[in-house]
Amino acid sequence: MQFAYDDQNIFAKILRGDIPNSTVFENDHALAFKDIAPQAPVHVLVIPKGAYVSLDDFAANASAAEQAGFFAAVAAVCEISGVEEGFRAVANARTHGVQEVPHFHMHIVGGKQLGRMLPA
């Protein structure tokens, strides 16, 4: 599996500070910010600061510290965002997964009753 990373993707630009974002949480290894087109009252994107294309790239190649930092950010976002009644975590990958931005990101979506995970 090849994981060529395009450093011109929009999240790379956010990480470089080239374009603004609405930051929810940040640590040494991850940044969490509000999705620009929210699908629910809570819609936060958690991204690693490292150059990983997708979940499988991150899982296979990120260091233990990067992975721990990423999931610490996920935990913080869930704590901060008021999703005690539940949420959905989604990571789209490549073409079949309809991934638009080729920098690994996890959507944290909640704040209302969600529908079934996948349409019939």
Instruction: Give the Cα separation of 69 and 1 in Å (integer).
Output: 24
Number of residues that bind ligand 5GP (CB under 6 A): 12
Instruction: Give the Cα separation of 38 and 52 in Å (integer).
Output: 23
35 binds ligand 5GP (CB under 6 A): yes
Considering only 52-60, 71-79, 91-99, 111-119, which stretch makes contact with ligand 5GP by CB under 6 A?
91-99
117 binds ligand 5GP (CB under 6 A): no
Ramachandran bin of 100, using left for φ above 0, alpha for ψ from -120 to 50, beta for the remaining angles: alpha
92 binds ligand 5GP (CB under 6 A): yes
Of 24 and 83, nearer to ligand 5GP (C-beta) is: 24
List residues binding ligand 5GP (CB under 6 A).
Answer: 10, 21, 33-37, 92, 98-101
